[in-house]
Amino acid sequence: MNKPLSDAPQSKNAVSVQPDWDVQELLERLEQDRVFLIELLTIFRQDSDKSITDARTQLANHDLPKLERTAHTLKGMMRNLVMHRAAAAASDLESAARERNLQRATTALQQLDLAMQQLLPEVEAQLTEVKV
Amino acid sequence: MKILVAEDDTLSRVMLQKSLERAGYEVIAVNDGARSIAALHADDPPRLALLDWVMPEKDGIEVCREVRSHRDRPYTYLILLSSKESKREIVEGLEAGADDYLTKPYDEEELKARLRTGERILELEDRLVEARENMRFQATHDPLTSLWNRGVIEELLGREIRRSQRENSCTVIILCDVDHFKQVNDQYGHNIGDDILRGLARRLQRSVRSYDMVGRFGGEEFLVILNRCDPDSAMTRAENLRAVVAKKPFPTRANPLPVTISVGVALSNDFQQHNLEEILAAVDEALYSAKNAGRNCVRRAQVTKPQATNEAPQTV
């Protein structure tokens, strides 16, 4: 349970490799409180879903100021949960929106979608495992 | 200790709240700037606050400015939380009134250490305020009786007389002196004399309205100011003060001792053209009339011609 859940390929030459989601680090921050972990992941599942939907709408409407704010919220949420890869994608989205670069924002949102596609099953697995 | 957590992101807020509750804080959590200001302006508000920079309604910077604009309130230690980390933004946050700044994601131990710093500063602030209030009290009150001291009661009298002239109302000035007080000191000692003075101060204070004023004027002399008083009841009220003193012996560290006072009374209406010094001289003269009349009685000050000066008629 305390190992990183990501199956992402890791460089053999890297001295320290950052997992996509460091659940061990998160649990340390939560003082191994698994009930609280469920509470946080439940909030994340609900809030991130809404924020990603908002981001898509804002990008479609070319509303980059609002997109910047939404990406900022996502970034904070993901950093709190030590979701490195998704947080980096949200950060890229935020900076692209801040620079009003629609093309870069589009790419960044695709990256964020990919990160979320990988992350959400892991979140569900954690929720199931902890509940059992 | 109470702490305000203002954070619009639910997940961040819940995490912060849990972490602070584990550290022993009583957390008040809100999700926007307007609610932060309401919480910080409520009765018994939190003195420590963690404010997210980016929030709906009012952001953390606006909350800092609003809190700092109320200088009369107890100090609140404000920490801004944000992922903004450029020097310009940090300076903007501190200039708006934040005491400290933490960038997200913050380290929990660092956050707790910074909160302890905030608590130390608040403690120091409380000690300074307490010391200032003590000094203010000592500068304005008589140390034995805790009544207003002479300087203050004279100043208050001047203010009340000016007000009664403006409002065409009546201020009653009552000067009381303990009868045979020297004998009390000589016979029973100064400690017993001090007990009498303290007891008399309490009894006078309890016998007047909350907005009347009582001060220690000299050794065993007390000045009572009754503002907005009906002139027809002035002598009755002075007589009541005399009676309340004479009614029961005063408890002392030895045996209870009977005490009486002589009382001089002046009504501001009678002294429209007199200055403060002349009014005090007149009430002092009335007090000595009461002494000469056998003590334990009340006498009213007689109006005398104002002292001639080269200046225009002087009022208080």
> Smallest Cα–Cα separation from B52: which of B39, B63, B41, B42?
B63
> Smallest Cα–Cα separation from B112: which of B50, B51, B52?
B50
Question: What are the beta bridge partners of residue B172?
Answer: B226, B267
Q: Per CB distance under 8 Å, which residues of B are interface residues toward A?
A: 8-12, 14-15, 18, 22, 54, 83, 104-105, 108
Nearest to A40 among B15, B22, B104 (CB): B15
* A34 domain residue, yes or no: yes
Q: What is the pLDDT of residue B306?
A: 64
Strand order in the sheet with B100-103: B26-30, B2-6, B48-52, B77-82, B100-103
CB-CB neighbors (< 8 A) of B18 in chain A:
30, 33, 36
Residue B291 is classified by DSSP as H
* A1 domain residue, yes or no: no
Residues 6 or more apart in contact with residue B294 via CB below 8 angstroms:
none
Q: What is the pLDDT of residue B148?
A: 97
Where is average pLDDT lowest: A17-31, A90-104, B82-96, B214-228? B82-96
Q: What is the pLDDT of residue B72?
A: 85
A32: left (phi over 0), alpha (psi -120 to 50) or beta: left
- Mutate which: B12, B14, B15, vs A, most A CBs within 10 A: B15
Looking at every residue in chain B, the average pLDDT score rounds to 92
Cβ contact, residue pair B14, A43, below 8 Å = yes
Chain A stretch 10-39, residues whose beta carbon is closer than 8 A to a beta carbon of chain B: 29-31, 33, 36, 39
Contact B172, B237 (CB under 8 A): yes
Nearest-by-CA chain A residue for B9: A73
The burial of B65, by beta-carbon neighbours within 10 Å (0-12 exposed, 13-18 middle, 19 or more buried), is given as middle
Tokens of residue B69, six digits: 């604009």
Strands B261-267 and B172-178 come out as antiparallel
Mean pLDDT (10-residue bins), chain A, 132 residues:
43 60 90 92 94 96 95 91 95 96 96 95 87 54
Q: For B2-56, write each residue's pLDDT tens digit.
A: 999 999 889 989 999 998 999 999 999 999 999 999 999 999 999 999 999 888 7
Displacement of CA A75 from its chain's centroid (Å): 7
| Share of residues in chain B with pLDDT > 70 (%) | 96
Longest CA pairwise span in chain A (Å): 46
Cβ contact, residue pair B105, A79, below 8 Å = yes
Contact B270, B303 (CB under 8 A): yes
Cβ contact, residue pair A43, B108, below 8 Å = no
Q: What is the pLDDT of residue B264?
A: 98
Strand order in the sheet with B221-226: B213-216, B221-226, B172-178, B261-267, B298-300
> Smallest Cα–Cα separation from B284: which of B223, B198, B230?
B223
* A7 domain residue, yes or no: no
Contact B264, B200 (CB under 8 A): no
Question: At A10, which amino acid appears?
Answer: Q
Q: For B233-245, write each residue's pLDDT tens digit.
A: 999 999 999 999 9
* A36 domain residue, yes or no: yes
Q: Give this prediction's pTM.
A: 0.68
Q: For A35-52, write each residue's pLDDT tens digit.
A: 999 999 999 999 999 999
Q: Distance between CA B20 and CA B119 in Å, rounded?
A: 14
Structural domain count of chain A: 1
Tokens of residue B249, six digits: 């012996």
Tokens of residue A98, six digits: 């801040």
- Give just the sign of the alpha carbon dihedral B271, B276, B282, B288: positive
Tokens of residue B154, six digits: 């004279």
Tell me the mean pLDDT in the region B171-178: 98
B189: left (phi over 0), alpha (psi -120 to 50) or beta: left
Q: Give chain B's radius of gyration (CA, Å).
A: 30
Tell me the mean pLDDT in the region B108-120: 93
Q: For B261-300, write each residue's pLDDT tens digit.
A: 999 999 999 988 889 999 999 999 999 999 999 999 999 9
Evaluate if residue B105 carries a pLDDT over 90: no
Cβ contact, residue pair B105, A73, below 8 Å = no
Question: What are the beta bridge partners of residue B52?
Answer: B81
Question: At B302, which amino acid appears?
Answer: Q
* A86 domain residue, yes or no: yes
Q: What is the pLDDT of residue A128?
A: 87
Question: What are the beta bridge partners of residue B215?
Answer: B148, B223
Q: What is the pLDDT of residue A1?
A: 39
Q: What is the pLDDT of residue A4?
A: 43
Question: At B56, which amino acid appears?
Answer: P
Interface confidence (ipTM) of the complex: 0.76
Q: Where are the alpha helices (DSSP H) in chain B?
A: 10-22, 33-40, 60-68, 87-95, 108-140, 150-167, 181-188, 190-206, 234-247, 276-292
Tell me the mean pLDDT in the region B143-148: 97
Cβ contact, residue pair A77, B22, below 8 Å = no
Tokens of residue B143, six digits: 């140390």
Does residue A44 sit at the B interface (CB-CB below 8 Å)? yes
CATH number of the domain within which A113 lies? 1.20.120.160
The burial of B298, by beta-carbon neighbours within 10 Å (0-12 exposed, 13-18 middle, 19 or more buried), is given as buried
Tell me the mean pLDDT in the region B198-224: 96
Contact B190, B232 (CB under 8 A): no
Nearest-by-CA chain B residue for A87: B105
Q: How far is B13 from chain A (nearest CA, A)?
A: 10
* A16 domain residue, yes or no: no
Nearest-by-CA chain A residue for B103: A76
Domain that holds residue A76: 23-131
Residues 6 or more apart in contact with residue A76 via CB below 8 angstroms:
B9, B12, B83, B104
Q: Distance between CA B118 and CA B101 in Å, rounded?
A: 12
Chain A stretch 50-109, residues whose beta carbon is closer than 8 A to a beta carbon of chain B: 69, 72-73, 75-77, 79-81
Q: Which domains does chain B have, with CATH numbers?
A: 2-138 (3.40.50.2300), 150-300 (3.30.70.270)
Tell me the mean pLDDT in the region B88-110: 88
